[in-house]
Amino acid sequence: MARRYDSSIVLLLVGFGWLTLASFIGLGTLIGLILGAPMPPWVRPAHAHASLVGGVLQMVLGGFLGIVSSPTAGRLSSHQTHPLTLLAMNGGTAAMLIGFWLRHSLVVGAAGLLVAGASLRIIQILWTRSKHAPSSNPGRPYYTVSFLALLGSLVCAGALSLSGFDRFHGYARLAHIHLGVLGFVVLIIVGAMHDLLPRILHVPLAGPGLSRVVLVGMPLGVAGLIGGFLSGSVPIELAAGGLLLVTGGLYALNQIRTWLASPHRNHATSDHVLIGTFFLILTVILGLFVGINSLSTPPVMPIGTLHVVAYTHMTFIGLIMNTAMGFLCHQIPFLLAASRVSSNKKRAPYQQRLTVIMDRWRAAQIGSLNLGTMGLAVVAALTWNVPLSSTSVRLALWMSAGLLLVSVVLFLVKLAMAWGAHPDEPADVSS
């Protein structure tokens, strides 16, 4: 009989599959841009939505499902697997990409409604189960703000698909993007890491007081930044960015102190999380520079499409991809062991074996991901001094793309190895 897995595992793995597909599309788009063979216009929104809707949204929902209710080996009901919800989520995502390809806004809107319905169903399940789950550090009010931002982003997406809202298209698009990326994704990551990092490192969070400041200041900074974008006020954007820099710095300090207090620091998960935090701070700093640069006319430093791509991908790859990989390194061994082994005595050794697999090639996989991400910044910076068609720009592009591909392939191989490592197999002592 085929084994059924809890929907949290399915959401995490399928979500990472979408994220991987989006990464390949994005690299192809970047290579085409620099080589003078740009992709069709619909590819860009398809890349963004495959990444954020198919990938990040599913992984966030799957991660929370895994945290609030652990699966029980061999006794999964259809209620736990939620097949129709999973089908709606992924079918809606695929239909959305087809809608972009066809340039048919109503198809995109209908697909978005399907994804929104599936997301709200999972959020309703999370809300119900969280009442019986141990309280986490951020708590339900903080996550409520994040999920309300997601709801606001979905509403704006629906407005964008209706031609009657053409007058407000620019505002709806700005709100849709920033509520989704900043209000939902970034706040969710910051909140979840307050609970996850201490659990990984087996130590309490170093500064509970700093944590409270971050969990209040970060949403306020995000709200101010979105307000500045919508009003077109650079001073408001800079003030909100300053608040985000301060709270982000406190967040990073708390993470580093927690990491230093732990004797269990040699894990891919904690490495990914801490490097993701570095990119979060770097993105805020770069955003402040961009805002200050725009105050002069003409700007001191000209900002083109490639510079915007490099800047945004400090967040999309540096923060989001690092966090996604780090979370999977921790959660997949736990969920697979819980799903496949009913005996508590046998589960721990099997989970440890899976953790060893996910920690393999750590330096190569993490190093190539982040060197490749920084390579995008190098490619963009070179264009301030040399033409886009120059050998140095193209060399930096291929090196960056190659490093990113190496990292993704290594991680996919580790996921496949973990999935194929069954409890009845003998441990690989050479690992």
Question: Tens-of-pLDDT digits for all 431 residues of the chain?
Answer: 345 566 788 889 999 999 999 999 988 888 888 888 888 889 988 998 999 899 999 988 888 887 765 554 444 444 455 788 888 989 999 999 999 999 888 888 888 889 988 888 888 887 777 666 556 667 778 888 888 888 888 888 877 776 555 566 667 777 888 888 888 888 998 988 888 888 888 888 888 888 889 989 999 999 998 888 888 888 888 999 999 999 999 999 999 999 988 887 778 888 999 999 999 999 999 888 888 888 877 877 888 878 888 888 888 889 999 999 999 998 899 888 888 888 778 888 898 999 999 999 999 999 999 999 999 889 888 888 888 888 998 999 999 999 999 999 999 999 999 999 888 755 444 44
**Using CA atoms, how far apart are residues 227 and 12, in angstroms rounded to an integer?**
32
Q: Which residues contact 62 (CB under 8 A, 6 or more apart)?
A: 7, 8, 9, 10, 11, 12, 15
Burial track 191-226 (b if 16+ CB lie within 10 A, e otherwise): bbbbbbbbebbebebbbeebbeebbebbbebbbbbb
**CB neighbour class for 239 (10 Å; exposed up to 12, middle 13-18, buried from 19):** middle
What pLDDT, on a 0 to 100 scale, did the predictor assign at position 76? 42
Are 183 and 222 spatial neighbours (Cβ–Cβ below 8 Å)? yes
Tokens coding 220:
């306020």
> What is the reported pLDDT for 182?
86
- The confidence score (pLDDT) of residue 133 equals 59
For residue 228 the two structure tokens come to: 């500045």
- Between CA 241 and CA 286 the distance in angstroms is 10
Taking the C-alpha atoms of residue 221 and residue 236, their distance in angstroms, rounded to an integer, is 10
Place of tokens 């903080």: 142
Residue 277 is predicted with a pLDDT of 92
**Could you tell me if 399 and 313 are in contact, meaning their C-beta atoms sit under 8 angstroms apart?**
no
What is the predicted pLDDT for the residue at 163? 59
**What is 1-134's CATH number, 3.40.720, 1.20.120, 1.10.20, 1.25.40?**
1.20.120
Q: What global pTM score does this model have?
A: 0.87
Q: Tell me what pLDDT residue 154 has.
A: 83
Question: Contact 241/291 with Cβ under 8 angstroms?
Answer: yes
